Each structure stands twice: as C-alpha cells, then as structure tokens.
Structure 1
C-alpha cells in the first residue's frame, strides 16, 4: 500500500473521507465512519493533492466506536458538520495547527483538556449529553460555544473551562447548560459573551479570578439558576446585564444569586433594563472605573429571611455614578456602606422595602462627589440610614415618601455633611427624622411635610429655606421625641442672626427658656417665670424699665398720700416721695431717704413690697444681662 493510499480494510465511505481530506473538500453523504478510521486519518495524514490544502471536512456522518484523538498533532483544520458520535470525543493534549469546528454535532461528551488550537475553536449548535471539558485549553483566536446544548448526567459539570486561555473572544451566546459552568482562572484577551445563555444547577456559573480584557456580556436573555460567581474577576471593559434573570439557589447561609465581590471593572456595570435578581447580589470591595447603572432592575430576597441584603455594594469604589432610577425595586436592604462614588448616587423613582429589622437603604460612610438623590417619586418602606455620609453637593428628598411606623426611625442622617439637604417630602412621615450632629449648608423643607418626630440635637446649618418667621418655625423645634434639647434653639437663633433677623433670634431664645422651664424644679420654675415676666430672660430689657416706672409711679402716689415719719434726732432731709420710692426700689443705692423716714401702718407693708420687688428686679436684670453678655 502506498503511503497516500487509504489503509486496507477501510470501507468505501471511509476511503471517500480519505480522498476528500487530500483535496480539502467536504465529504458528504457518508452514512458511517469508524472512530478508529478518523483517528488513523488524522495521525497518519496523507499528503495533499498538488495545489490542494489537506484538511478534514466531514458532514452528516455517523461516527461509530470511540473517537479518541488524545495527544494527536493535526496540521490542517478539522471541521465536522451535523455528525453524530457514539462515544465521547477526546482531544486531550492534542495540538491543532489550524482550526477546530464542530457544528450541529451530537455526542455523549467532549474533552479538550490541555489541548492547543492555533486558530479558532468552534463548538456551535451542538448537543452534548455529557460534560464539555475544556480545562487548560489554549485557543489562539476565537473560542465559540454558541447555541450548544449540554445535558450532563446528574451531579456532573456541564461546562468545565477552568484555566482556559483565549487569544481573542470567547462567545457562548445561546449556550444552554443543565449543570454547573466553570470558568475559574480563565484568561480571555477580548470579550466574554454569554448573551442569551441559560445555566441551571445549584452551583450555576463559577468564574472566580476570571480575567477578561474586554467586556463581559450576560445580557439579551441570559438566565442563571444557582450562584453566579465572579469573585475577584478582572474585567477590562463593561459588565452588561440587560434583560438578565438570575435566580439564586434558595435559602441558606452564604448563598447568593450574583457575586461580583473584589472585582476590578474597567468600564461600567450596566443594566439599563430587564435585570431581575432573586437572591442576594453582592458587589462588595469592587472597583468600577465607570458607572453602576441599574435602571429598572429588581432585586428580591423576600423568600430568604436569613439573607442580609438584596443588593450588597458595601465598600464599592465607583468613578462615575450609581444609577438606580426608572423603576428600580428592591425587596430587601440596599447596602452601600463605606462606598466611594466619584459622581452621584441616584434613586429617583425607586422603591425600597426593608425586611426584618434591617433598613431599606444603608448608606453609612458613603462619600459622593455629586448629589445623593432619593426624590421624584422615591419610596422607602422602612428606615433610610445615612450615618457619617459626605455629599459634596445636594441630598434631595423632594417628593419622596418615607414609610415608617410611628415612633420608629424613618430617616437617620447623623454625623453627615451636605452642601444642601432638601426635605420637601410628598407627605409628612409618621416616623422620626434624625439630623443629629450633621453639618448642612442650606436646609430646605416645608411645614406641610414636617415629620411627627424630628431630632436636631447637634445639627448645624447655615440657612433655612423657606425663611419662615420664628412663630412659624418654633413648632419645628418642639418635635423631638426625647423632649427639650437646648442646642437646636441656639442653632436656629444663630441662623436668624446671620440673616439680620434679630427679633426672630430673640424670640427663639426666649422660647428656649420657656421650653426648658418644664424640666426645672418648682422653685427654679418660679424663678424662670419671674425672669420671663420682668425682662424676658434678658432679651427684652425695656420690660424692666417699664416695670420700674410703674412701681415708681405707684410708690410716689402712695407715699404722697401717706408720707412716712421722720426718724432720728438729727436734721433730716426734706421728704421727697419719688426719691424715697427710688431708694426703696434700688438695692445697694443710698439716696438718704429710706434711712431718714419710716412708714407706718399699710405704708410699711407697701415699702417692704417695694424693697422685695427692687431686689427681684435687680437680680433678674443682672441675670439677663449676664446671659446676653455671655452670648456676645
């Protein structure tokens, strides 16, 4: 037998395959080919016909027996179309110098462990009733599994592509896997596209430490049941999640639907519409150079009572915005704790629902360079927690609804800072709004939306809008559930003083002392009443003047009608009823009348009353003056 002749014992159909290989043409209408003959052809390949390129092109064949091509070296390309294999196709550690293409083939398994394909490797529209094992496969150009259906036996992986290396793109659009997909430590130079892919199984898609030079596409109808795990992944472009459905494995500690923790993303996380996640989504400690866009997304952990958050993006680093607008819905906590956002955090029109005793939104420690918008139809069923937040621009709650039970916290904006805080809510919250120890440039609100409980202790603001008079603004300060706290009164008075409204500032300070009166002991309360009536706690000094004139007029008239008797043996000054009354009213002042004359009968009791009123008046004036001087 010549070297280029087909081996003895081959069937006519196998001989046709041999000749088609030598000329590089498609071999069609071949009913049956032995797997051993296919191996012989590729290992002991005949030389091509003159002017032809040797390559295997086989269409519509039934390949019987084993198809073991492990460790073979194949110079030409291999293209099998609509072929049916009896045994699993094994190309472990094989070296293909050109391309490998399996199109619309049916096989009980496929193994390319450690294989090297110099050009493209395509496994498209195939049906595999076992595992597709691509571990450590190296592909020079594109790897494709488009529209392939993989149905492994129960408990086995559907696709195992751990440590695969692809020189260009990895496309698996329309891939349908009824089992786990492994992409651990895979290295893809350009794009990883799983558009319209369907993955089922408790373990879902496992791709920790994945490296993709371009974008990652889980869109266009992608669906996954089980855990979709991209922990520690490095994605050079964007992650697309449009029209994507993720259903986690159900209840249990540590379970999740999506895990993008500790990842590095060079573009955006983008879900402009159609993202639905049933189970926790975790994006902790991830860095996103662009924006996180989750418009219209739905996150739900209502079937997992032990889960902590529907969306956990704590310690997230975002160069652009976090955009959760246009009908974003979360049943379970949205956790943005300690995140750093270069742009804005946008929740316009979103609806957040707290589960258990967790808040609807936890943004403690967030820093954002733009605005924090929870407005324009935003609704929170549960607490909004914004502790130690730093917002360079505006925090907006305009037309927002904060739905919390009476007496429970609706908004906690504590220890935070913002250039502007707007609280023009859709309706007055039944819960408590806390602004303790916050620093606000401009605080905007409306009396119609003042909450039933408002905590302002330690809050500092430069101005209030609208600029309401003190008589309208004072009920705003009386809503603290813990009762009287002095600092909010001092702060409001300072705000009025900065605006040149001194009368309103004094009214607030007087109201502070009147409110404090209820906390005093009975004697101190009586003393407070005297200070209020006489000098308005030092903020209405003209009251003392008018009271002094009234007492002086009364005393002058009384002592003119019933003059006192002169006392002593020496010469006494002439009696002057006005000067005598002043001598009684002014303590520590001696005008010579009081010690020279002594009243009798009822005039004596009137003198005692004037002396007492003088001491009270002097003491309250001194106390009020001291208070004003301390403020100055």
Structure 2
C-alpha cells in the first residue's frame, strides 16, 4: 500500500533506504532528515504543500515511476539540501511555487522522462545552487517566473530534449553549461543579476531565443564553440555585436568562431546585410589581435618585424574599398569617384589645349599644319587655338570627336573599346 504522512510532525529522522513502495506522500510533513537512498517508488513521490526538512533529504539512486513533486517544499539544510544523484524519474520533477532550498539541490546524473520545472523556486546556496551536471531531461527545463538562484546553475553536459527556458529569473552567480545539448529552444529573456557569468563553451541549442537587453546583467560571457541552428530575436545587429563583445572581453586571445557562427546563421536566415556587418567586425578584431600579438611577441628583428607590424594595416584598403569582400557594392562608389576625377582632369586638360589627335596621318597633314595660329590671341593657349581651327577643316570634322567622359571611361575599361585613348 502507499505510505502517506499528511501534515505530520516527526522529531526523529525518517529512514526509507532500499524500500519499495507503491507511492509516498509526505505533503505538509515536517521532520529533520530523510534517507531514501535506492528507494523504489512505483508511483508518485510528494514532498510538497508545506513540506519541510531541516536536514538532508537524500534520494540518491532512487527510482520513481511517477512524478517527484516538491512544490512549496522547504529544504533547510545549509550544505546540501536535496540529494538526488543518479535518480530516475518516470514523469516530471516539480520544484515550483514557494519551493526553497537553503543548500545545494543536486540532480547530478539524473534521468527525468518529463519536465524539470523550477518555476518560481528559490535556490539559495552560495556555491552550487542547482547542480544538473550530465542530467537527461525528456521534455523542458523551466527556470522562469521569479526563479532565483544565488549560486551557480550547473548544466555541464546536460541533455535536454525540449526547451531550456530562463526567463524572468534572478541570478546572482550565473550559469555553467559547457557541452550542454538543447534540441529545441534556449530562452534567455528578462534575466536580472549583478555581474553574472555565463559559460556556454561547446554548447549546442536548436534555437537561440533572447530579447534586447536580456544580456545586460552578464559581466563575463564565454561563447567559444557555442552553436545554434536558428535565432529568434528582436535584437539588431549592433546589439548582437555587443553580445559578442562580452565574450571578447572575457576570452583571450581573440577567437573568431562566435562571429563566424553568428554570420552563418544570419546567412541561412537571409539577413545578408547583417552578415556583412558581422564579418567586417570580425576582420577588424582579427587585425587588431594580429597587431597585438606582433607587439607582444618576439618579432622585433629587422625587416621581418616591420612587415609583421604593418601587415594588419595592409588590409585597411580592402576594408575601405569593398568591406573585405563582404560588401562588394562599395566598389561602385570608388568606380564613380575614379571616373569623376578622371573626367574632371581630362576636361581641364582639353580646355587648356593639351590634347591633340594621335593619328600619324593627321599630324603631318597640311590641314593640321595650316591650323597653327599666325596671329595668337592673348591669354589663349596656342595649341587650343590650333585644335579649334583644325576642327573646322575637312579632316577635323571627319576625325573622332573628343569627349572627356568617354575618355575617362576608356581609360578605366582595359579594352580600348571606345577609341578615345587610342585617338587622343
């Protein structure tokens, strides 16, 4: 039969080690400690509804076929409050509502087929508040709606089939999620704290879902090899770069992978302009990192040192001209500028009479020789007077007309397609 102690007060510790029960209901009950190591519970286990333990509640290696319900329970042990190492739960684990743990809640190696729901729970341990290292969860992990953790939340190599939702939470220390796998979405919204740390090294999530300003409280951020397949966010590209800058300030030397990861996802989502901005920023930071490495290293020998110091600056023209190849449309502005300068220069030279036909037939012809002015006009270039006079002759009218714009275009196009450069 199930064991039920409802709203009881026990002065002695409860010993259920190696027991087998159809169900265990300790709703509202108070006692010092519970030792339920290797407990086999073939139904639900309730430590809820005002449940309180002043010492350790130990359910290491326990097997619970139903749900583990600790809603509104209080676990007051200072060192380790709830020990669920390698526990197996066939349904969900609820640490919700007015749940409070003064010491560490340890779910290391736990296998939970349903949800891990900590909505509104308070985890007050100063070192590790919630230890979910190598945990396996078959649905969602919910740390939201006034959830509070004063110590670290450890999700090292955790495997979560559903969503990891950290929304409306207050974190004092931060999140350690190295090697974590989240198949669905990783929600990070409205998280508050004072200089928290987030470690996502080698983590992989399906969709990154965050909101503008949600990373403001993060002081130290590690994103090396952090991968995500999609982004759902209203953050603009500058806010996203500020997000990456937190990683750059934390991890040295500079690592380009977070920028490449972001660019690849944005490219798949069709945000090409944002991709170009991210890749240009990556190149700028890589150049600065190369310069810093050259200064700090042992590269101060002769010409080699000079080349190493100048190498980062040699890429600047490529940035200005076409954004390191990520913004090729910039070239159109440079083409327009080059054509404009060449047109202006050719026009000025033409006005001053410094252009002449290049034809070997025209230059020795009588029309050209007779066009040389015998009575020069004051302040007028002689060659300009000759050119104007020759243009009125038969050979001048038949010759290719000079155009400053076409001449500039002919110089720019390396095919001599317009004949201006060849004839003038």
Which TM-score tier does this pair reach, normalised by the shorter chain?
A: 0.7 to 0.9
Contact 1:401/1:429, CA 8 A, preserved across alignment: no
Match of 1:527 among 314, 326, 339: 314
CA shift, 1:415, in A, is 1.5
Would you say 1:413 and 2:200 are equivalent positions?
Answer: no
Q: What secondary structure sits across from 1:242 in the alignment?
A: coil
Would you say 1:423 and 2:188 are equivalent positions?
Answer: yes
CA shift, 1:331, in A, is 0.9
Q: What secondary structure sits across from 1:272 in the alignment?
A: coil
Paired with 2:76 and 2:42, the residues of 1 have a C-alpha distance of: 28
Would you say 1:440 and 2:205 are equivalent positions?
Answer: yes
CA shift, 1:294, in A, is 0.9
Unaligned regions of 5+ residues in structure 1, if any? 1-213, 248-256, 405-409, 565-573, 598-632
Per-residue CA distance 1:177-211 (angstroms, 9 max, x = gap): xxxxxxxxxxxxxxxxxxxxxxxxxxxxxxxxxxx
CA shift, 1:368, in A, is 1.2
Per-residue CA distance 1:326-348 (angstroms, 9 max, x = gap): 21111111111111111111111
Match of 1:454 among 209, 221, 236: 221
Per-residue CA distance 1:483-531 (angstroms, 9 max, x = gap): 5432222222222222222112222222222233321214233123222
- 1:542–1:295 distance in 2 versus 1, CA, 3 Å: closer
Paired with 1:375 and 1:553, the residues of 2 have a C-alpha distance of: 60
Paired with 1:218 and 1:394, the residues of 2 have a C-alpha distance of: 35
Would you say 1:499 and 2:285 are equivalent positions?
Answer: no
| Superposition CA RMSD, Å | 3.3
Matches within 5 A, 1:568-607: none
Match of 1:246 in 2: 31
Match of 2:232 among 461, 465, 472: 465
Paired with 1:279 and 1:585, the residues of 2 have a C-alpha distance of: 84
Paired with 1:511 and 1:396, the residues of 2 have a C-alpha distance of: 30
Q: What secondary structure sits across from 1:360 in the alignment?
A: strand
Q: What secondary structure sits across from 2:284 in the alignment?
A: helix
Paired with 2:101 and 2:138, the residues of 1 have a C-alpha distance of: 24
Match of 1:125 in 2: none
Match of 1:349 among 120, 124, 128: 120
Would you say 1:376 and 2:136 are equivalent positions?
Answer: no
Q: Which has the larger radius of gyration?
A: 1
- 1:268–1:446 distance in 2 versus 1, CA, 3 Å: same
Moved more, 467-476 or 526-535: 467-476
Structure with greater contact order relative to length (CA < 8 Å, sep ≥ 6): 2
**Greater helix percent: which structure?**
2
Per-residue CA distance 1:441-481 (angstroms, 9 max, x = gap): 22222222212333222222232222433234322221112
**Greater strand percent: which structure?**
1
CA shift, 1:281, in A, is 1.8
Match of 2:96 in 1: 325
- 1:343–1:494 distance in 2 versus 1, CA, 3 Å: same
Paired with 1:246 and 1:220, the residues of 2 have a C-alpha distance of: 11
Contact 1:336/1:366, CA 8 A, preserved across alignment: yes
Moved more, 279-288 or 445-454: 445-454
Match of 1:388 among 131, 134, 157: 157
Per-residue CA distance 1:79-121 (angstroms, 9 max, x = gap): xxxxxxxxxxxxxxxxxxxxxxxxxxxxxxxxxxxxxxxxxxx
Match of 2:135 among 339, 354, 366: 366
Matches within 5 A, 1:602-617: none
Match of 1:291 in 2: 67
Match of 2:295 in 1: none
Match of 1:231 among 17, 27, 31: 17
Match of 1:488 in 2: 258
Match of 1:58 in 2: none
Paired with 1:502 and 1:428, the residues of 2 have a C-alpha distance of: 34
Paired with 1:499 and 1:219, the residues of 2 have a C-alpha distance of: 55
Match of 1:541 in 2: 328
Paired with 1:365 and 1:278, the residues of 2 have a C-alpha distance of: 28
- 1:380–1:456 distance in 2 versus 1, CA, 3 Å: same
Match of 1:259 in 2: 35
Paired with 1:526 and 1:313, the residues of 2 have a C-alpha distance of: 57
Contact 1:371/1:395, CA 8 A, preserved across alignment: yes
> TM-score normalised to the size of structure 2?
0.74
Q: What secondary structure sits across from 1:420 in the alignment?
A: strand
CA shift, 1:551, in A, is 3.1
Contact 1:489/1:508, CA 8 A, preserved across alignment: yes
> TM-score normalised to the size of structure 1?
0.51
Contact 1:428/1:452, CA 8 A, preserved across alignment: no
Match of 2:394 in 1: none
Match of 1:515 among 285, 301, 317: 285
CA shift, 1:297, in A, is 1.3
Match of 2:170 in 1: 401
Paired with 2:106 and 2:190, the residues of 1 have a C-alpha distance of: 23
Paired with 1:375 and 1:457, the residues of 2 have a C-alpha distance of: 26
User: When the two structures are aligned, how many residues end up with a matched partner?
Assistant: 353
Paired with 1:460 and 1:424, the residues of 2 have a C-alpha distance of: 18
Unaligned regions of 5+ residues in structure 2, if any? 292-308, 356-399
Contact 1:427/1:448, CA 8 A, preserved across alignment: no
CA shift, 1:383, in A, is 1.0
